[in-house]
Amino acid sequence: MNHPDNSQNSPLGKPSEYPTAYDPALLFPMPRQPMRDALAIHGTLPFFGLDSWNAYELSWLNLRGKPQIAVMSVTVAASSPNIIESKSFKLYLNSFSQTRLAEPEALLELLRADLSAGFGAPVQIALTLPDAFSNIKIREMEGMLLDRLDIEVTEYTPNPSILKTVEGESPVEETLVSHLLKTNCPVTGQPDWASVQIRYAGPEIKQESLLKYLISMRGHDEFHEQCVERIFIDILRECKPQKLGVFARYTRRGGLDINPWRSNFSSAQQPLYIRNARQ
C-alpha cells in the first residue's frame, strides 16, 4: 500500500489565499431566481421568510493595532434578489482581520453597506462582543422527533413522490423535527449537515414518508437556501397543507452557519434563532 511522503502529496486541502486587507469586492452574490426556476417557482413567491447567518470568526484591529473579536448575526429577507456564496462571505469577513477601525460601530457601518449591496436588499446585523458571549444560548428545536422511527431507507436522491398523507383522517396541526438532513455544497462537494423543523396544518403527513424524503436529500448538491425551498415546495405540492413552515439550522463550515426559514401563513412567528447543540 502506497503512502504519501508528505502533506504536499496527500489529499489534504491545498492552500487558499485569504486577503487580510478590507475588500468588499470579495463578496460573490448569486441571483436566487435561477435556483427557483429549477423548482418551478415563478412570479409571486409561494412563501415568505428569512435567511439568518451566524459568523464566529470575525476579527479586526482597533486603532492601536490590538485584535478585536465578535460573533455576528446577519438576517436578510428571502425576497432579496441574491444570496451570497458562503466562501466569498468568509473571505470578505477575513479581509477585516488586519483592518484598523475606531470602534465596533464603524465595522457595523461597513458590514451593513457591503452586505446590503451584495444581497440586493437591506440586512439586519448584530454583533455580540466578548463581554456578552455568556448570553449566547443553546437550545434544540421544538417538535416531535422523526428520527425515533425505525425505517429502512433505499433512496438518497431527492424523490418527492415518497411523501404521503394519511387518507380518511381529520386534518392535523403539528410540528416535526429531524436531525438527519444532509446535502452537499454544489461548489466544493463538501457535506452540509442540518436539523430541520416542519410546521404544518392540513392532511396528516405520514411521518415515515417524511423522514425517508428528508433522508433522500443525502446525495443532493444544492445551496442551503435552495434545499429548504425544495423541501417546502415538495411538501406543499405532494401533501397540500393549508399552512406550512420549513426551518433548517445548518452546522457551521468555515466559521459560518446558514439558517433558512420559509413559511406561507401570515400568523407564523419567526423561529427562534438560537444555536442548537451541533452548531
- Please identify every residue annotated as catalytic: 185, 192
Report the C-alpha gap between 12 and 15 in whole angstroms. 10
Report the C-alpha gap between 204 and 172 in whole angstroms. 6
Largest Cα span, the chain: 71
From the list 279, 277, 225, the residue with the least C-alpha distance to 255 is 279
From the list 181, 173, 192, 179, the residue with the least C-alpha distance to 243 is 173
C-alpha grid cell, residue 244 = 406550512
At which residue does the C-alpha cell 442540518 appear?
194
Percent of residues in the chain assigned helix, strand, coil, to nearest 5 = 30, 30, 40
**CA–CA distances in Å: residue 97 to residues 64, 70, 89, 141:** 14, 12, 14, 34
